[in-house]
Amino acid sequence: MPLVHDAIVIGAGPGGGSAAWHLARRGHSVLVIEKQLLPRYKPCGGGVGPEVRGWFDIDFTPAVSAMVDAVRYTWNMGERVDAPLELREPLWMVRRDEFDHHLITHAVNQGATLRTGESVQSIARDGGRWTVTTDQGVHHARLLIGADGAKGQTAKWLGLAKREVVIGGAIEIEVNAPVPEPNVAHFEFGMVNNGYLWNFPKKDCHSIGIGAWGQKSVDLRTPLAAYTRYFGLSMDGVKQHGHPLLLWQGNSTLHADGAMLCGEAAGIVDPFTAEGIRPSLFTGMLAAEAAAAWFTGDAHALAAYSERVANEHGRDMKWAARVAKAFYAMPRLAYSVGITRPSATRTMGRLLTGEIKWHEVAPRALARLVSPRSLLS
């Protein structure tokens, strides 16, 4: 008889690591299949809200590279605005090779089995059991969790590829150089339409990047190079890493017979901030909870997962999408009268750390953005 795991998780990013940790923690046998060797690089700014700590019994301190408690905004590299975030605790800046490896190592410590350097090629369901074929063999499980990110195939294989998302593109570079203000995150809004540039601090390294959504054939490299020079740094000899982003645009079905999607494979990225790590950790946790219920015979548990993601994440993403639409329709005005207000900075910081949620603040923010009179008041 072949070994049949309770669950196979495809992908060992934050979504897969979270699902695996929560499943293993409950005593379920879980196999994680990751096509890359770990630790692996992932293009990402690495901003993570410390809210996530409450979802795990893990000390994330060794995987946090820097802590941010202030931001600096610019418009076309001018009109600089410095603002303290005034948070209960600072925003984490992580390097994804370290952070993702830390999480999956803890999942393994809980009992998960990890196979790296092994790529899933196809999946098949027969007799209530999954057969997952990789470039190295076959594996079996009762349940499948697709956590294979924006470029993964599991959504397509499950017939769930038509998620409500807008595809964005982003480039990240890591420039190894001392960071003069390791507590400051930089955002630049005037150099790209429907997106922004960032320079996030890491230990002895700048994560500089650019993201833009909903447009085709945008030149991201020229503004990225100019923004890098703005910090007295150079892109010469630095590898540029492009990656798609699946930004939430509406609730989608995230489950199939004996299967779920979590993380960016589920299209959960915040359409205003492009934040995806925290939502991936969150949906990985919810998927594991749903799996545990399903294993006990709750036939509705996987459908309930789709509903729960819609209710608890989609509810906020709906507001984030509205704010993004209003903001990017008139970014110049929104920058000068909205973003640079001290109260807006405090709100954004509290959103990113998880102290508050979009549905609590977006109606008021939208009223300001769409009403010129309130913008000027």
Nearer to ligand FAD, 268 or 337 (CB): 268
Shortest separation between residue 277's beta carbon and ligand FAD, angstroms: 3
Q: With binding defined as CB under 6 A, does residue 146 bind ligand FAD?
A: no
Shortest separation between residue 304's beta carbon and ligand FAD, angstroms: 21
Tokens of residue 106, six digits: 């803890």
| Burial (0-12, 13-18, 19+ Cβ within 10 Å), 239 | exposed
Q: With binding defined as CB under 6 A, does residue 102 bind ligand FAD?
A: no
Q: With binding defined as CB under 6 A, does residue 354 bind ligand FAD?
A: no
Q: With binding defined as CB under 6 A, does residue 240 bind ligand FAD?
A: no
How far from 349 is each of 71, 140, 364, 365, CA to CA, in Å? 9, 43, 16, 14
* Radius of gyration of the chain measured on its C-alpha atoms: 21
Nearer to ligand FAD, 31 or 337 (CB): 31
Helix (H, G, I), strand (E, B) or coil at 13: coil
Q: With binding defined as CB under 6 A, does residue 116 bind ligand FAD?
A: no
Residues pairing with 199 in the sheet: 186, 208
Long-range contacts (CB closer than 8 Å, 24 or more residues apart) made by 60-65: 60/92, 60/99, 60/102, 62/98, 62/102, 63/94, 63/98, 63/99, 63/101, 63/102, 63/103, 64/92, 64/93, 64/94, 64/99, 65/93, 65/94, 65/95, 65/98, 65/202, 65/203, 65/205
Secondary structure (DSSP) of 362-374: HHHHHHHHH-HHH
Q: With binding defined as CB under 6 A, does residue 264 bind ligand FAD?
A: yes
Question: Can you tell me the distance from the alpha carbon of 266 to that of 252, in angstroms, rounded to the nearest whole number?
Answer: 8
Shortest separation between residue 362's beta carbon and ligand FAD, angstroms: 18
CB count within 10 Å of CB 371 equals 11
Question: Can you tell me the distance from the alpha carbon of 79 to that of 364, in angstroms, rounded to the nearest whole number?
Answer: 25
Question: Can you tell me the distance from the alpha carbon of 185 to that of 77, in angstroms, rounded to the nearest whole number?
Answer: 14
Q: With binding defined as CB under 6 A, does residue 44 bind ligand FAD?
A: yes
Handedness of CA 247, 303, 293, 112 (dihedral sign): negative
Shortest separation between residue 71's beta carbon and ligand FAD, angstroms: 13
User: Under 8 Å CB-to-CB from 216, ≥6 apart: which residues?
Assistant: none
Query: Which of 5, 22, 42, 308 contacts ligand FAD by CB under 6 A?
Result: 42
Tell me: cis bond preceding 178? Omega within 30 of 0 counts: no
Shortest separation between residue 370's beta carbon and ligand FAD, angstroms: 27
Nearer to ligand FAD, 172 or 368 (CB): 172
Nearer to ligand FAD, 24 or 274 (CB): 274
Which of these segments, 75-83, 270-278, 331-339, 367-375, binds ligand FAD (CB under 6 A)? 270-278
Q: With binding defined as CB under 6 A, does residue 269 bind ligand FAD?
A: yes
Tokens of residue 219, six digits: 């030149």
Site for ligand FAD in 12-41 (CB under 6 A): 12-16, 33-36, 40
Which residue is associated with the tokens 């369901």? Answer: 125
Which of these segments, 19-27, 43-51, 224-232, 248-256, binds ligand FAD (CB under 6 A)? 43-51
Size of the residue set binding ligand FAD (CB under 6 A): 41
Which of these segments, 9-17, 71-79, 309-317, 333-341, binds ligand FAD (CB under 6 A)? 9-17
Shortest separation between residue 18's beta carbon and ligand FAD, angstroms: 8
Site for ligand FAD in 165-184 (CB under 6 A): 170, 172
Position of minimal CB gap to ligand FAD: 276
Query: Residues interacting with ligand FAD, by CB under 6 A?
Result: 10-16, 33-36, 40, 42-48, 119-120, 147-149, 152-153, 170, 172, 209, 243, 245, 263-265, 269, 274-278, 280
